[in-house]
Amino acid sequence: MARSDITRELHARWSRLRTPASRNLLRELVRATIRINDHNSVLGAVWGLLGPASMLVVLYAVFHSRFGSRLDAYPLFLLVGIVAVGFFLTGSRQLIGVLTANRNFMIDSTAPREMVILSNLTPHVYKLLVELALCAGFAGYYGLLSWKTALLLPVVTLAYVGFVLGVGLVLALAYTFTSDIEHVWVLGSRLLYFATPVFYELGELSPVAAGLVYWLNPVTPFLLALRTVFFDATTSLAPVFHAIALGPLALIAGYFLFLRFEAEAIERI
């Protein structure tokens, strides 16, 4: 697809996505996704909060004496890291197989295919917002939350959602060409909690290791940006600007690739 064709296709799709019918479809698809996820579950969405809570307890018990002795708000420090990494892992993992799982719908329906993708990510966005609200509550409890940095939270969150969506689109396309991408992603996911400063600070690493963790792990700027918000760390706004720039760039790149290879990916399934 030529660049001019992609531009016309993008304009046509956004025109369809803004219609009331598309918004109603997205709402129904989100409801269907939530029902499927909570099918035969007694606690339902509560399970989504038990995961971060249990991870918080374990990491606090294991690493508090080593990394958290100098931080009075170490539980908040951990929680922000768990929430940031958890959203990236669950959101991107959900989108890996979205094209394969919804192939028939995408072929037989005239609805914008973006609706299916957004409906699979939206429940995780809701969960992220709830968890960020809990982080804000913790920050208020420790007396760290400032309205000045709190104003940055919607911008950072929106950028992070865009980043995960962009990465998810690329993974969904790659999965249709080779299913090995899922195994590679699962392996990488197991290492991400250690390759991201969830339970330690970058300053505790060597300069080389800190540089690798920051520049080679795109989740790190978002995590540090969120900690800037909740810890009122106005002296270190560089990660905030980094995250705000990285999110839209990832979304634009992912969506461009989606438009370019979408038809070929659907045919390969």
Give the C-alpha separation, 178 to 180, whole Å: 5
Provide mean pLDDT across the span 257-269: 84
Q: Which two tokens stand for residue 145?
A: 């939350």
Instruction: Output the pLDDT for position 129.
Output: 93
Record the pTM: 0.89
- State which of 15-19, 67-71, 232-236, 242-246 shows the largest mean pLDDT: 242-246
Give pLDDT, residue 43: 53
pLDDT digits (tens, 9 = 90+) for 25-82: 777 877 777 666 655 554 555 666 788 889 999 999 999 998 988 888 999 999 999 9
- Judge whether 226 and 158 are in contact, CB under 8 Å: no
Is it the case that residue 221 has pLDDT exceeding 50? yes
The CA-based dihedral angle spanning residues 14, 16, 18, 23, taken in that order and rounded to the nearest 10 degrees = -130
Q: Is residue 130 scored above 80 in pLDDT?
A: yes
CA distance 93 to 182: 8
Contact 133, 222 (CB under 8 A): no
- pLDDT for res 68: 86
Question: CA-CA-CA-CA torsion for 240, 241, 245, 246, nearest 10 degrees?
Answer: -40
Neighbour-count burial of 241, counting CB atoms closer than 10 A to its CB (0-12 exposed, 13-18 middle, 19+ buried): exposed
* Residue indicated by tokens 């839209």: 248
Candidates 185, 165, 178, 33; CA nearest to 100 is 178
CA distance 166 to 164: 5
Structure tokens at 164: 């995960």
CA-to-CA distance for 53 and 75, rounded, in angstroms? 10
| CA-closest candidate to residue 254, choices 190, 161, 179, 192 | 161
Q: Give the residue carrying structure tokens 């795109």.
A: 218
What's the token pair of residue 247?
Answer: 């999110």
Query: What DSSP string describes 90-159?
Result: HHHHHHHTHHHHTHHHHHH--S-THHHHHHHHHHHHHHHHHHHHHHHHHHHHTT---HHHHTTHHHHHHH
What sign for the dihedral angle of Cα 245, 246, 252, 253?
positive
The radius of gyration of the chain from alpha carbons, rounded to an integer in Å, stands at 20
Give the contacts of 239 (CB within 8 A, at least 6 positions apart): 220, 221, 222, 224, 225, 228
